[in-house]
Structure 1
Amino acid sequence: MTPATSASPSADPPVSAPFFLRGRLCEGQDVTHRSRDLGVTFATPSIDLDQVVHPRGEVPPLLDVPLDEIIDFLVETGERIRDRRNPFVRECIERMTSTHPLPRDVLEAQVRGAAGYLDKRLLRTVVEQNFPDPRALDEWVPKEDFTGRRSFVRAFAPRLIHVLPGNSPGVAVKSIAQGALVKAVNLFKMSSSDPFTSVAILRTMAEIDPGHPVVTSMSAVYWRGGDEAVERVLYRPQYFDKIVAWGGGDAIANVVKYLGPGFQLVSFDPKTSISMVGKETFVSDEALERAATLAASDVMVLNQEACVASRFLYVEADRDDADRFSARLYAHIAEQAAASDDARPLDVDLREQVETLQLLDDDFRVWGRTDGTGVVIRSEEPVDFHPINKIANVVRVDSLDDAVRGVNVATQTVGFYPFERMADYRDRLASCGAQRIVRLGEAGPSTIGNPHDAMYPLHRFVHWMAHEDGTAPDAEGTADGTSGAS
């Protein structure tokens, strides 16, 4: 295999982003790239494609490692990530501040907070929710059907490429843990906003035990998405079973063209989350204040960078009440924005669209400024752009029944108020394609082990293998007298 080619170099001193290849740190500045969000130059080694592929003829390193041992190793990793003396995490955060749009404090909280996923009870719960019989990860589980036909089934260790997102560094921690739990051979394609976190975690693991099978089953590299010199080689069933892709529409579309027999996609594709706020909000000033506070909390999840962050808030109200809600929502968003120390101005296109709305008639009303300190737009229909960077679109509706029409398969989380009306809407929301309904204000946390993006991911990651061992001696054919062959 041939190494990847270089991007155009920058005159600025590049930030160094090393790779991690099956237990070995790989440093170098052979290739220069630009981060997507800030256009900052960073440098990586060239990719030795032979090193990122684990030969099919070799059994995956983690296959015969007991799941309990893997979990113990992940727990120790989590403890070390949280240790503020960890040099790999400190270096990662320092370098990431130059390539990532989020401020340093938010990045650090994301990385160290994500280590909370590496908790023994949490990891065990995730496994038990994903697999009816977790023994299948450790052994060939015997089965016998009602006809007497015997077999063994195993959740066999897969070969996975993980295309990581740029918006949330914490996803790297979760993805590495999930890859270890299913005993996969893992290749992590890092994002241009964060070509650091995955390597920092893997270096932390290597410091614990450089020869541990978790460590030797992991590689983390960066290449520019869409680089055919890399992807036409790696995105093939000869080397990998599945690609686990996070990211925007362009990233997912780029992966889809490589899919075919033997090479599947598990997609955490772009999602939009919303809020549904009922008329009960306006029975008192206290109820209004409570709903606005909860709604602002959902809008500001990871400074509105996360998929679970609310962007459209459907409010069951007349125009005057919708404006009252919008004003209080803006006050809380602005307060949280100021506390976050994240005051990135809106990009030019988005700023122009918001400023245009300020000039229109009463169908639109805007609170705030386009300087990154928060904006709320009240409208009669959803705006035709994607609210981001602390922008909330309050959509006035006569009934929450009207809000359901705004839900589709790209709707991830629905924050709902008042809570007692949630059960009345969950079937309709699911029918429209929504994947999660929560109490308003609780978009961020989730129940441990619950489905994510309408699936149990670990169950989909593994390679389900059956070993059929014939019919038991006391069984004669199938229940209908046939052999059962097909």
Structure 2
Amino acid sequence: MTVTETTPSQGPRPPQGLVPSPGLAPSGSPTPAKLKVPHVVRGKVVWGEDVEYASRDFGVPFVTPRIHFNELITPRTEQGPAFDVPLTDIIDYLVEVAAHLDLAKNPYLQESLELTAQVSQMPRRMIENTFHRPGQFLTRQSMGFRLEKTFRDVRVLDGWVEHTDPTGRRTRIRAFPPRLVHMLAGNSPSGAMTSIADAALVKAINVFKLPSADPFTTVAVLRTMADIDPDHPVLRSMSAVYWKGGDAKVENVLYRAQYFDKIIGWGGGAAINNVIKYTGPGFHLVAFDPKVSMAIIGREALASPDTMREVAELAALDATVFNQDACLAARHIAVEADVDDDAEMERLDQFCALLRDRLNVDREFASAVGPATPSDIREAVEGMRFLEPDYRIWGEYDGSGLVVRSPEPVDFHPTNKTVNVVPVGSLVEATHFANVATQTVGVYPPERKAEIRDLLATAGVQRVVRLGSAMTGTMGNPHDGMYPLHRFVNWVADDDA
């Protein structure tokens, strides 16, 4: 067994003085045969080449240190390092960290960008754009607003807050710091940054399970934190390691109530289902389940060529987020149109053609040409060509965009910039396509959201937005039908009744 090598602490120093990681190729250098992925254990960087894995998307080999469970697990007789740190100090620290997450100056992020581009399907330009986002959600104002909306009285994060009920009985409540395993998603590096911030705000003891599609970004952020203050209690509350999802040798040990309270699960259906079998009394799952999104468009969109072009652009904005590899990216679009009105159906087909053209556009978080259409979708669509005019197809299978009009939602999962357009008699009829797996619904015109939002919520939808704004969120809102930080903590009462 190779002995793991721990990077010695060198005290605080500015990120401008950082140097590339040992064994990892700097930008512009030849790609190493095996990428080296360090672990972080309670804030300390650990190097090693004990175990070899392959990345999810391209099978790129990478090596990691061996996991030592006793180093990851904090006994329940010990409070977490951040337990008594005032929330204001944690926010100050996160604001300082955000100031150092500048891609132009931070070599850890630069290195992570180059390495992630080798293992992720996401184009390098889009990965780079995600690294410019932390400043939007790690400001003092945004964090404070979110905490206020989530907890109402943020003092519960710092200690026991007393209140008296209508009978005169007193109790004290605390949002107690939890012990969390974070199963991170690999479809966007920004998820690593938000997860670290969330973990800090609730003062949790944390183990981050790195995703094979991006095992680099989380470590890059933690290493930046270490250079600001290697002994900061928030950093010492955090570990980041990799193991292959479903590895019972690891999960049978870590996924236990005596060690952790909850798994924060991001990922696909198979990953979530694998975790569910470990849950039970005292060990719970907070799941950001795999979701799909859709759009509902009123017949106002077909009123004129100019309006059709405008709405096609809005629909394309929503459908192409991360090249449709995001829960909030629209896959099905219901358009209000009379199938017995030839003129209206002709306008709908014009809209479909315009939509296809707008799918083939470079955007901040989308490529003009993304990954090619999967073979199963291609086979299904080819079979529909014999069913015209009930079915019509626009576009190619090369990742530049594909639009399929059908009389009802297709039975395959549209992906890789494939959009299914379905004519409906009314917006109410379109709500029948939504279910508990539907996350975001974009509506046009926006003033008609009120007609259908209750029906959508009844069906299980968690978010209704203006068409074209799926990627834009209001601070302080729930996510996936909950306030996540409220679910992360352990609510404890000291009751005098």
Task: Report if TM-score (shorter chain) is over 0.5.
Answer: yes
Aligned partner of 1:373 in structure 2 is 400
Aligned partner of 2:121 in structure 1 is 101
Paired with 2:50 and 2:383, the residues of 1 have a C-alpha distance of 45
Contact 1:337–1:374 (CA<8 Å) still a contact in 2? Answer: no
Aligned partner of 2:485 in structure 1 is 458
TM alignment of 1:249-288, pairs within 5 A: 249-288=269-308
Letter in 2 for 1:266: V
Letter in 2 for 1:397: V
Per-residue deviation at 1:200?
0.6
Aligned partner of 1:402 in structure 2 is 429
Letter in 1 for 2:356: Y
Contact 1:166–1:191 (CA<8 Å) still a contact in 2? Answer: yes
DSSP 3-state at the match of 2:496: strand
* 2:378 is the counterpart of 1:351: yes
DSSP 3-state at the match of 2:69: coil
Stretches of structure 2 that go unaligned for 5 or more consecutive residues are 4-31, 340-344
Letter in 2 for 1:363: D
Letter in 1 for 2:348: A
What whole-Å deviation, never above 9, does each CA across 1:347-385 have from its counterpart, x for those lacking one?
Answer: 333333333333443222111111111111111111111
* 2:359 is the counterpart of 1:333: yes
Per-residue deviation at 1:402?
1.6
Letter in 1 for 2:367: S
Contact 1:30–1:44 (CA<8 Å) still a contact in 2? Answer: yes
Aligned partner of 1:469 in structure 2 is 496
* 2:350 is the counterpart of 1:324: yes
Paired with 1:352 and 1:114, the residues of 2 have a C-alpha distance of 41
DSSP 3-state at the match of 1:97: helix
Stretches of structure 1 that go unaligned for 5 or more consecutive residues are 4-11, 471-486
Paired with 1:59 and 1:373, the residues of 2 have a C-alpha distance of 53
Q: Closer, same or farther in 2 for the Cα pair 1:34/1:343, shift >3 Å? A: same
Contact 2:177–2:489 (CA<8 Å) still a contact in 1? Answer: yes
* 2:318 is the counterpart of 1:298: yes
Aligned partner of 1:417 in structure 2 is 444
Paired with 2:347 and 2:391, the residues of 1 have a C-alpha distance of 14
DSSP 3-state at the match of 1:449: coil
* 2:61 is the counterpart of 1:41: yes
Contact 2:360–2:368 (CA<8 Å) still a contact in 1? Answer: no
1:67 aligned to 87, 106, 124, which one? 87
Per-residue deviation at 1:83?
4.2
Paired with 1:130 and 1:322, the residues of 2 have a C-alpha distance of 42
DSSP 3-state at the match of 1:422: helix
Q: Closer, same or farther in 2 for the Cα pair 1:361/1:285, shift >3 Å? A: closer
Paired with 1:44 and 1:71, the residues of 2 have a C-alpha distance of 32
Paired with 2:36 and 2:386, the residues of 1 have a C-alpha distance of 46
Paired with 2:89 and 2:252, the residues of 1 have a C-alpha distance of 36
Paired with 2:203 and 2:210, the residues of 1 have a C-alpha distance of 20
Aligned partner of 1:441 in structure 2 is 468
Paired with 1:83 and 1:76, the residues of 2 have a C-alpha distance of 15
Paired with 2:361 and 2:82, the residues of 1 have a C-alpha distance of 48
Contact 2:316–2:359 (CA<8 Å) still a contact in 1? Answer: yes
Per-residue deviation at 1:321?
2.3
What whole-Å deviation, never above 9, does each CA across 1:4-55 have from its counterpart, x for those lacking one?
Answer: xxxxxxxx81111111111100111211111122222111111111111121
DSSP 3-state at the match of 2:186: coil
Contact 1:337–1:343 (CA<8 Å) still a contact in 2? Answer: no
Q: TM-score, normalised by structure 1?
A: 0.92
Q: Closer, same or farther in 2 for the Cα pair 1:44/1:355, shift >3 Å? A: farther
Aligned partner of 1:6 in structure 2 is none
* 2:218 is the counterpart of 1:198: yes
2:458 aligned to 423, 431, 438, which one? 431
DSSP 3-state at the match of 2:146: helix
TM alignment of 1:199-238, pairs within 5 A: 199-238=219-258
Paired with 1:347 and 1:259, the residues of 2 have a C-alpha distance of 34
Contact 1:21–1:219 (CA<8 Å) still a contact in 2? Answer: yes
Letter in 2 for 1:126: R
Q: TM-score, normalised by structure 2?
A: 0.90
Paired with 2:383 and 2:496, the residues of 1 have a C-alpha distance of 70
Aligned partner of 2:33 in structure 1 is 13
Aligned partner of 1:476 in structure 2 is none
Paired with 1:84 and 1:91, the residues of 2 have a C-alpha distance of 11
Paired with 1:392 and 1:401, the residues of 2 have a C-alpha distance of 21
Contact 2:361–2:368 (CA<8 Å) still a contact in 1? Answer: no
Contact 2:360–2:367 (CA<8 Å) still a contact in 1? Answer: no
Per-residue deviation at 1:346?
2.3
* 2:420 is the counterpart of 1:393: yes
What whole-Å deviation, never above 9, does each CA across 1:397-430 have from its counterpart, x for those lacking one?
Answer: 1222221110101100000001111111111110
Letter in 1 for 2:361: E
Per-residue deviation at 1:102?
0.5
* 2:111 is the counterpart of 1:84: no
Per-residue deviation at 1:115?
4.1
Letter in 1 for 2:199: G
DSSP 3-state at the match of 1:201: helix
Paired with 2:414 and 2:129, the residues of 1 have a C-alpha distance of 24
Contact 1:157–1:183 (CA<8 Å) still a contact in 2? Answer: yes
Paired with 2:82 and 2:109, the residues of 1 have a C-alpha distance of 25
Per-residue deviation at 1:337?
7.1
1:156 aligned to 172, 176, 184, which one? 176
Per-residue deviation at 1:148?
2.8
What whole-Å deviation, never above 9, does each CA across 1:76-97 have from its counterpart, x for those lacking one?
Answer: 1111112412011011111111
Contact 1:21–1:220 (CA<8 Å) still a contact in 2? Answer: yes
DSSP 3-state at the match of 2:136: helix
DSSP 3-state at the match of 1:335: coil
Per-residue deviation at 1:468?
2.1
Paired with 2:134 and 2:399, the residues of 1 have a C-alpha distance of 26
Letter in 1 for 2:373: L
Paired with 1:192 and 1:162, the residues of 2 have a C-alpha distance of 14
DSSP 3-state at the match of 2:331: strand
Number of equivalences:
460
Aligned partner of 1:361 in structure 2 is 388
Seq. identity, %: 51
* 2:194 is the counterpart of 1:174: yes
Contact 1:337–1:373 (CA<8 Å) still a contact in 2? Answer: no
Aligned partner of 2:28 in structure 1 is none
Contact 1:337–1:390 (CA<8 Å) still a contact in 2? Answer: no
Paired with 2:118 and 2:103, the residues of 1 have a C-alpha distance of 23
DSSP 3-state at the match of 2:414: coil
DSSP 3-state at the match of 1:231: helix
